[in-house]
Amino acid sequence: MKKTRRIETMVELVRILAAIGIAYLIALVTLFAISDDPVFIIRQFVLGPFSSVRRIGSVINLAIPFTFTGLCFCFMYAVNKFNLSGEGIFMFSGCIVTLLAITLGRFGIPAGILIPLLILCGALTGFIVSLIPAYLDVKFSANIVVVSLMLNSILTFLSIWVLKYFMRDPTIGSLGSYVLPDAARLPSVFGKFRIQAGVFVALAMVIIVAVLFYKTIFGYKMRVVGSNQHFAKASGINMTVTIILAQLVGGAFAGMGGACEIMGNYDRFKWTASTQHGFDGLMVAVLARRNPILVPVAAVLLAYIRIGADVVNSKGDIPIQFITVIQGIVILLVAAEEFMGRFKKNLIYKAAQEDMMKDRERETREIMADAEATEAGKESVE
Partner 1 sequence: MLTLEWFASFGFSVLRLSTPLIFVGLAAVINKKAGMLNMALEGMMLTAALAGVVFAGLSGNVWIGLLGAVVFGVLSGGVLGFSSLSGKTDLYLTCIAFNLIAAGGTVFVMYLLTGEKSTTSAAIKAYTIPSLKIPLIDRIPFLGNIVSGHNLLTYLSFISVYAVWFFLFRTRLGLRMRAVGENPQAASSVGINVKRICYLSFLVSGVLCGFAGAFMSMGWVSFFMTNMTNGRGYIGLSAMNIADANPIGTAVSAIFFGFSDALATTLKSQGTGFPTEFIEMIPYAATIIALVLINMVRINQRKRIEKGQKREGS
Partner 2 sequence: MPGEVLRMENITKIYSNGFVANKDITFWLNEKEILALVGENGAGKTTLMKVLFGLESAQTGHVLVREQPVKIENTLDAIDKGIGMVHQHFMLVPSLTVAENVILGIEPLRKGTLDYNKAIEMAGEVAEKYNFNIDPKARVSDLSVGQMQKVEIMKVLIRGAKIIIMDEPTAVLTPQETEELFEQLILLKESGHSIIFISHKLEEVKRICSRVTVLRHGYCLGSYDLKDMSESDISKLMVGRDVVLKIEKDRPKPEKVVVNIKDLTKFDAQGKTVLEHISMSIRAGEVVGIAGVEGNGQSELSDVLCGMGGFSAGEVLINGTNIQGKTVHEIRESGLAYIAEDRMQFGCAPDMSIRDNIIADRYFKKEYHKGPFINRKYIDELVDRCIIEFEIACDDRDQPVRMLSGGNIQKVVVAREFTSGSNFILANQPTRGIDVGAAEMIRKMIVKKSREEKTAALLISADLNEVLECSDRLLVMRKGRIVAAFPQANLVSEEVLGEYMLGIKTMTAAEMEDLL
Closest CA to 305 of 13, 18, 88, 26: 26
Q: Cβ distance 71 to 292 under 8 Å?
A: yes
Residue ranges in 263-292 that form contacts with partner 1 under rule CB under 8 A:
279, 282, 286
Q: Interface with partner 1 by CB under 8 A: which range of 137-145, 197-205, 214-222, 359-367?
A: 137-145
Burial (0-12, 13-18, 19+ Cβ within 10 Å), 354: exposed
Residue ranges in 328-367 that form contacts with partner 2 under rule CB under 8 A:
359-360, 363, 367
* Minimum CB distance to partner 2, residue 89 (Å): 24
3-state SS class at 177:
strand
Q: How many residues bind partner 1 (CB under 8 A)?
A: 43
Cα separation, 185 vs 181, in Å, equals 7
x/- contact string, 295-334, with partner 1 (CB under 8 A)? -----------------------xx-xxxxx-xxx-xx--
Q: Cβ distance 145 to 82 under 8 Å?
A: yes
* Minimum CB distance to partner 1, residue 165 (Å): 7
Cα separation, 53 vs 201, in Å, equals 22
Q: Cβ distance 186 to 263 under 8 Å?
A: yes
Cα separation, 149 vs 106, in Å, equals 36
For 373, other C-beta atoms within 10 Å of its C-beta total: 10
Cα angle 220, 223, 228 (rounded to 5 degrees) comes to 125
* Minimum CB distance to partner 1, residue 143 (Å): 6
Residue ranges in 15-74 that form contacts with partner 1 under rule CB under 8 A:
34
Residue 85 or 196 having the CB closest to partner 1: 85
Residue 33 or 234 having the CB closest to partner 2: 234
* Minimum CB distance to partner 2, residue 71 (Å): 18
Which residues does 267 contact at the CB level (< 8 Å), separation at least 6? Answer: 179, 180, 185
The answer to whether residue 227 forms part of the interface with partner 2 (CB under 8 A) is: yes
Q: What is the 3-state secondary structure (H, E, C) of 28-50?
A: HHHHHHHCCCHHHHHHHHHHHHH
Residue 194 or 315 having the CB closest to partner 1: 315
* Minimum CB distance to partner 2, residue 359 (Å): 6
* Minimum CB distance to partner 1, residue 214 (Å): 24
What are the distances in angstroms from CA 230 to CA 226, 235, 331? 10, 9, 28
Among 32, 50, 157, 349, binds partner 1 (CB under 8 A): 157
* Minimum CB distance to partner 1, residue 154 (Å): 5
Residues of the shown chain interacting with partner 1 in the complex, contacts defined by CB under 8 A: 34, 82, 84, 136, 140-143, 145-147, 149-151, 153-154, 157-158, 160-161, 164-165, 279, 282, 286, 318-319, 321-325, 327-329, 331-332, 335-339, 341
Q: Which residues bind partner 2 (CB under 8 A)?
A: 1-2, 4-5, 211, 215-218, 220-221, 223-224, 227-228, 230-238, 359-360, 363, 367, 370-371, 373-374, 376-378, 381
